[in-house]
Amino acid sequence: MSQNRHKYQVLATLLEQLQADATTTQLDAPELRQRLAELQEFFRQEIVSLTDADSRVQSFRTEISKQLRLLEVDVMFLQGARQASTAKARLQTISSRLTTLIQYCAAILQQEENGEK
């Protein structure tokens, strides 16, 4: 397994764990924000510096970066939610965005796999 592939696999695992924790254990907003900050730091340190000859992988990486920033905004909106129904809607949005991020990682992993063949 290439080093790049391994790092994207770790990112996907972290995203899946965050999604599971956010939807099943109902993390409070500050804790969710802390976990997201750690995830973004991993992305900046481990993923951004990777070099990929494949432009599709670079495009996916750009989309992941954008979605992570949007996720940060979603978490801020969750912190500002005053009603349970609003908080529930914000958590659904966060879960949906995490699903999108996981799908981007899966697409990159598939692309990497196809490139190794």
Domain regions of the chain by residue span: 3-116
What CATH number is given for 3-116 in this structure?
Answer: 1.20.1440
Cα–Cα separations (whole angstroms), residue 91 to 15, 71, 82, 83, 110: 14, 11, 13, 12, 28
Q: Report the predicted TM-score, pTM, of the whole model to 2 decimal places.
A: 0.90
Mean residue pLDDT across the chain: 89
| ∠ Cα 42 46 47 (to 5°) | 100
Q: Give the tens place of pLDDT for each residue, 46-92.
A: 998 887 767 888 899 999 999 999 999 999 999 998 998 998 999 99
Helices (H) and strands (E) in the chain, counts: 4, 0
* DSSP state at residue 26: -
Q: Which residues contact 106 (CB under 8 A, 6 or more apart)?
A: 12
pLDDT at 95 over 90: yes
Take residue 10 and report the two structure tokens written for it.
Answer: 């770790």
Q: Is the pLDDT of residue 13 over 90?
A: yes
